[in-house]
Amino acid sequence: MNEAAAVWPLSLRLAHWLGAVLVLAALGLGTAMVQFVHNPAARFELTQTHKSIGIVILALTVVRLCRRSFSRAPKSEPAARSLLLAAQAAHIALYALLLLMPVSGWLMATTTPVRVPTVVFGLFALPYPLAPNLAIYGLARATHVALAILLASLIAIHIAAAMIHAFIWRDGTLARMWRTPVR
């Protein structure tokens, strides 16, 4: 990508927005199924969907990171060095969480004493490379919940920062992830 380009490549913009929808769906579904759904059959179906979305998020994030490694970021808007470093750290943390959340969920599924197959959108079953282990399951579950809270918090900060860029500072930061370049 040209260093002076005004926006991110279309493939990365689409991956960003698709990922955003999927992550919000997974977080909302995960919270709802744990907090509000007590019917075992309904919870089973929601859990399968939640796990399927998580696997898609993991795959999309890996593809996105690979694609990102071949692209230069659009030139940043002028800002204090501390703000640029904070933005970079937040983006690294978001990517790390998008990888760790599905992995911790899969670790839960593979170490639970109750061996219920994880079938991704009814297409294929994920393997269980680890034996059931209640201690690892408990640690993976606690990690998954903690990471979900951290991810939701970081997403809120990310959205707030985007709104500040768009409506207070009125710079082109949000536009680079939204629109196509003007030629």
Backbone angles phi, psi at 25, to 5 degrees: -65, -45
Instruction: Give the pLDDT band (50/70/90) at residue 172.
Output: confident
8 A C-beta contact, residue 58 and residue 99:
yes
CA distance 87 to 109: 33
How confident is residue 183, by pLDDT bands cut at 50, 70 and 90?
very low
Q: Which residue has the tokens 């689409």?
A: 14
Q: How many CB atoms lie within 10 A of CB 140?
A: 22
Angle at CA of residue 13, ends 12 and 16, nearest 5°: 85
Please state at what angle helix 40-68 crosses helix 10-35, rounded to 10 degrees: 160
The Cα 69–Cα 114 span in angstroms is 39
* Alpha-carbon torsion angle 112, 114, 119, 120, nearest 10: -30
Across all residues in the chain, what is the average pLDDT?
Answer: 92
Interacting residues of 10 by C-beta distance below 8 A, sequence separation 6+: 180
Q: Which amino acid is at 163?
A: M
Q: Over the stretch 24-83, which tens digit does the pLDDT of each residue have?
A: 999 999 999 999 999 999 999 999 999 999 999 999 999 999 999 998 888 888 888 999
What is the residue whose two structure tokens read 């710079």?
A: 171
The pLDDT tens digits of the residues spanning 110-169 come to: 999 988 889 999 999 999 999 999 999 999 999 999 999 999 999 999 999 999 988 999
pTM equals: 0.91
**Residue 5 banded pLDDT, cuts 50, 70, 90:** low
What integer is the mean pLDDT of 2-12?
72
Element (H, E) at 124: strand 124-125
